[in-house]
Amino acid sequence: MSTTIPPINPPAVLTEVKDGIGRITLNRPESRNALNQDMRKGIAAAIVQMRDDDSVKAVIITGAGGSFCSGGDVIQMVQSSESGLPWRERIRTLHQWFPELVNLQKPVIAAVDGPAFGAGFSLALAADFILATQRAKFCAVFGRIGLVPDLGAMQLLPRIVGQQRAKELVFTARTVEANEAKALGIVYEIVEDGAALQTEAQALAARFRDASTAAIGMAKTIMNQAFELDARAMSELEAYAQTLCRGSEYHQQAVQRFRDKQPPLFDWDKAAK
């Protein structure tokens, strides 16, 4: 008598922390890393892991198998019987973890190869920097199936490309190739292929190892509010943040090194070489 052992599915999201760099890999290559429930839960857990690990100085989010993320799992949507208020609650749960990614107080780099469609586009927009291959394609695809953008896209996209261009990309649901995405300010840099993408993402993240995570985190948090708060509120946040940074051990060490004519703790230009 033989017993059939059910296959063990690999985790939908992989995480790794090495040499101060956290990595989150979307791991459903058979579906072009479409967002199903397991992946959503995995991303939420990964964000908390990266947030709470003080050894992590920067985070890379990428996809396995030559794709970043093709968006929501449409097959799962069709099979689901949820509608009305239950579906609304399901969408709202996304916003229990997505703001944590947008406001993660560490530099976040999206390494995009292949499609970043729908919610995958939103995931990429949540990063501080998007590196892309020539194969990368971006699309607010929701309109093709009669939906509106979700996962924060309607807030994030206008901030990057402006209101008029954001409306055009949403209303038309057209595909944006890598070069146009860079011209629009969506993509930070373009690399040739997937191997170069991972190398460049790692190198960019590594340049933040010696930076003040606290200072970057506070600056990021404040700048993320720049479109909601007026100048006076922003200046108050600036004053509080600067006071905290000035009392930090990092600042004291940096000033002492300056006085002693030693190399700075953080030198972006030198790290680039």
All structural domains of the chain with their residue ranges: 13-206, 213-272
pLDDT score at 2: 47
- Is the backbone of residue 135 left (phi > 0), alpha (psi -120 to 50) or beta? alpha
Could you give the CA distance from residue 84 to residue 20 in angstroms, rounded to a whole number? Answer: 44
Are 75 and 124 spatial neighbours (Cβ–Cβ below 8 Å)? no
| CATH node for 213-272 | 1.10.12.10
pLDDT score at 240: 96
Q: State the burial class of residue 99 (Cβ atoms within 10 Å of its Cβ: 0-12, 13-18, 19+).
A: middle
pLDDT score at 1: 45
Per CATH, the homologous superfamily of domain 13-206 is 2-enoyl-CoA Hydratase; Chain A, domain 1 (3.90.226.10)
- Chunked mean pLDDT (size 10), the chain, 273 residues: 56 97 97 93 96 98 97 65 67 86 98 97 98 98 93 95 98 98 98 93 96 97 96 97 97 96 92 76
Q: Residue-wise over 39-56: b if at least 16 C-beta within 10 A, else e?
A: bbebbbebbeebbeeeeb
